[in-house]
């Protein structure tokens, strides 16, 4: 990495300070001091931190620090009177005050053995991300530490997402306050994406902005503004962590799929084929489900050890059975279980893999078996919205409506633009149906059935809910909608998809559907 400021280049790879291209000799401790000050130029660096970083914590006198500061200034053509580049902040420490930016060195070494964890590969490589230290906007006072604490927490949480390669803090934090453009950050750290942000206090409020940037195009993929009252820091931290992780589960696959569409389908590699497959899979119709199957198989052909692609095939066969796209319900159910089992062999701690296994148990009506895997998925990744929704679905039908409502509400809050959001809303309807709250069930079912992409079984929930609530006109309208879309569906297919454990609720719903010809 090279920091460029004024007429100088500070080359961390070659341990050189260059003035207008000419090497200016500096002692090792002076160079280390300069690197520390430049890398942290947005803040004051205390004497104790200088001792810790430059002298490895050994006891040294203030005069020794002052001597190195004087030498650093001399190397830069600065002095204690002008303080043009290095400023003394009385009783606090020192700050580098010149504008500096990171430039690409061609062959980058971040520091010693700390090199980029993975090279930036082509469009189809496993998605990779760095989280940079956040910026201070104005004087943030006692909340300055959030600029490091928030991204540090995000790195720890992102590392649990096995589909995403996360650059270690020791590398990404070296770009503190970097003026580099997204392409340079991508080359320096070897990533497709990075998260950056800002921390600001304003009129008694604490505000944080978070942005997800594509290093290949420089475009903003996702951004969110978080704001709380001063002092409510813990809620702010939870909101940022929860919503950011949930957003990445949706936004990065969507973005990768849009890039992959620009390629010739035969040339797609494993990750590109997988991301395109996801987009088809979520549309819940025969044509797209078949396209998803072909793309996931293409991903496995390119990489037989790709656990998520096997889980994708499990989802495809689950959907074929669940939606009755095939007469071979038992065969499709078996394939869903087999592909989920293979995915678990390859990566037992991937949440999507555990989600796929949990859903395969739905097809047998084994809600308790399903819940074990779905609970595991949400334990591995507590912010996994689809896992929380699926867990809530199984809990609602297993007569655990209170827990179900909590989980599905959290899923909707975490992922308001989720491709399965309509199913989350439909699950909320089921929680009310199981509790005999028919008016509320009808309201939620109507919202679910009208949502973009909602499949025909959601319309059947609307028929039952409106019938139970006494809304005969609405129930009749949704009944006609179901028959137009799939005339073969009846009560048997409904209860195969929604295996209600409560005999009384099952009887009520069965009578409601029968009243409208199912």
Predicted pLDDT of residue 266: 63
Q: How many independent structural domains does the chain possess?
A: 3
- Tell me: do 396 and 419 sit in the same domain: yes
Q: Given phi > 0 = left and psi -120 to 50 = alpha, else beta, which region is 19?
A: beta
Predicted pLDDT of residue 231: 81
Residue 319 lies in a domain: no
Across the strands, what pairs with 213? 194, 220
Assess whether pLDDT exceeds 50 at residue 483.
yes
pLDDT digits (tens, 9 = 90+) for 25-52: 888 889 889 988 988 887 888 888 888 7
Assess whether pLDDT exceeds 50 at residue 123.
no
Residue 211 lies in a domain: yes
Domain that holds residue 218: 111-260
Q: To the nearest whole number, what is the mean pLDDT of the chain? A: 88
> What secondary structure letter does DSSP report for 118?
S
Predicted pLDDT of residue 108: 37
Average pLDDT on 58-62 reads 85
Residue that terminates a domain, selected from 76, 102, 128: 102
Predicted pLDDT of residue 179: 61
Assess whether pLDDT exceeds 70 at residue 219.
yes
- Tell me: do 398 and 495 sit in the same domain: yes
Residue 420: which of 449, 458, 386 has the closest Cα?
386
Average pLDDT on 269-275 reads 90
Residue 334 lies in a domain: no
Assess whether pLDDT exceeds 80 at residue 301.
yes
Predicted pLDDT of residue 115: 41
Highest mean pLDDT among 182-196, 222-236, 312-326: 312-326
- What is the Cα–Cα distance from 504 to 508, expressed in whole angstroms? 6
Residue 292 lies in a domain: no
* CB atoms inside a 10 Å sphere around CB 470: 11
Residue that terminates a domain, selected from 260, 290, 315: 260
- List the CATH number of the domain containing 449: 1.25.40.10
Predicted pLDDT of residue 326: 92
- Tell me: do 116 and 40 sit in the same domain: no
pLDDT digits (tens, 9 = 90+) for 152-184: 889 988 887 878 889 888 788 877 765 667 888
- Tell me: do 144 and 251 sit in the same domain: yes
- Tell me: do 72 and 176 sit in the same domain: no
Predicted pLDDT of residue 429: 97
pLDDT digits (tens, 9 = 90+) for 74-117: 999 998 888 999 999 988 899 999 888 877 544 333 333 334 43
Residue 78: which of 150, 30, 143 has the closest Cα?
30
Predicted pLDDT of residue 161: 80
- Tell me: do 251 and 138 sit in the same domain: yes
Residue 330 lies in a domain: no
Residue 194: which of 203, 184, 207, 185 has the closest Cα?
185
- Tell me: do 97 and 120 sit in the same domain: no
Q: What are phi and psi of 340, to 5 degrees?
A: -65, -40
Could you tell me which residue, 304 or 54, shows the higher pLDDT? 304
Residue 377: which of 400, 365, 361 has the closest Cα?
361
Q: Is the pTM for the entire model greater than 0.85?
A: no
Could you tell me which residue, 123 or 62, shows the higher pLDDT? 62
- How far is Cα of residue 480 from the mean position of the Cα atoms in its chain? 39
Task: Determine which helix (DSSP H) or strand (DSSP E) holds 298, and give its type and residue range.
Answer: helix 286-302
Residue 294 lies in a domain: no
- Tell me: do 124 and 64 sit in the same domain: no
Task: Give the pairing of strands 128-131 and 165-166.
Answer: parallel
Residue that terminates a domain, selected from 243, 260, 277: 260
Asked whether 180 and 102 are in contact (CB, 8 A), the reply is yes
Residue 136 lies in a domain: yes
Residue 278 lies in a domain: no
Q: Look-up: residue for tokens 């010693």?
A: 112
């Amino acid at each position: 990495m090279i920091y460029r400021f004024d007429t100088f280049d500070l080359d961390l790879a070659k341990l050189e300070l260059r003035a207008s291209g000419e090497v200016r000799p500096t002692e090792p401790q002076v160079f280390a001091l300069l690197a520390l000050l430049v890398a942290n130029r947005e803040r004051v660096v205390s004497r104790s931190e200088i001792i810790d970083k430059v002298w490895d914590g050994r006891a040294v006198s203030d005069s020794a620090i002052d001597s190195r500061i004087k030498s650093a200034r001399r190397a830069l053509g600065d002095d204690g009177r002008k303080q043009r580049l290095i400023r003394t902040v009385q009783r606090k420490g020192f700050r580098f005050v010149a504008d500096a930016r990171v430039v690409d060195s061609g062959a980058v070494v971040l520091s010693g053995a700390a090199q980029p964890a993975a090279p930036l590969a082509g469009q189809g490589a496993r998605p990779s991300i760095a989280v940079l230290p956040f910026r201070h906007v104005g004087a943030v006072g006692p909340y300055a530490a959030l600029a490091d604490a928030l991204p540090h927490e995000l790195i720890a949480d992102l590392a649990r997402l096995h589909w995403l390669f996360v650059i270690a803090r020791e590398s990404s934090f070296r770009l503190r306050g970097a003026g580099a453009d997204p392409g340079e950050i991508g080359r320096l750290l070897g990533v497709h994406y990075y998260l950056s942000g800002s921390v600001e206090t304003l009129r008694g409020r604490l505000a944080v902005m978070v942005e997800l940037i594509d290093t290949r195009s420089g475009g903003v993929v996702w951004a969110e503004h978080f704001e709380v009252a001063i002092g409510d820091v813990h809620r702010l931290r939870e909101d940022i962590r929860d919503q950011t992780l949930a957003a990445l589960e949706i936004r990065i696959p969507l973005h990768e799929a849009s890039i992959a569409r620009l390629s010739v389908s035969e040339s797609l590699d494993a990750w590109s084929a997988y991301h395109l497959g996801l987009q088809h899979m979520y549309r819940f119709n025969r044509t797209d489900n078949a396209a998803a199957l072909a793309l996931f198989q293409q991903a496995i052909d390119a990489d037989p050890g790709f656990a998520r692609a096997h889980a994708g095939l499990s989802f495809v066969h689950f959907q074929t059975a669940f939606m009755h796209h095939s007469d071979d319900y038992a065969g499709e159910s078996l394939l869903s279980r087999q592909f989920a089992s293979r995915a678990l062999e390859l990566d037992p701690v991937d949440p999507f893999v555990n989600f796929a296994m949990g859903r395969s148990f739905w097809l047998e009506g084994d809600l308790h078996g399903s819940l074990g895997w779905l609970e595991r998925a949400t334990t591995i990744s507590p912010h996994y919205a689809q896992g929380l929704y699926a867990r809530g679905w199984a809990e609602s039908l297993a007569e655990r409506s209170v827990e179900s409502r909590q989980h599905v509400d959290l899923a909707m809050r975490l992922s308001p633009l989720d491709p399965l959001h309509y199913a989350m809303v439909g699950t909320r309807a089921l929680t009310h149906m199981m509790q005999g709250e028919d008016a509320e069930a009808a309201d939620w079912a109507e919202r679910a059935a009208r949502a973009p992409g909602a499949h025909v079984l959601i319309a059947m929930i609307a028929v039952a809910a409106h019938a139970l609530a006494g809304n005969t006109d609405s129930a009749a309208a949704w009944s006609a909608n179901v028959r137009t879309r799939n005339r073969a569906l009846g009560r048997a297919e409904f209860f195969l998809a929604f295996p209600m454990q409560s005999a009384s609720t099952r009887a009520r719903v069965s009578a409601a559907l029968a009243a409208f010809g199912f």
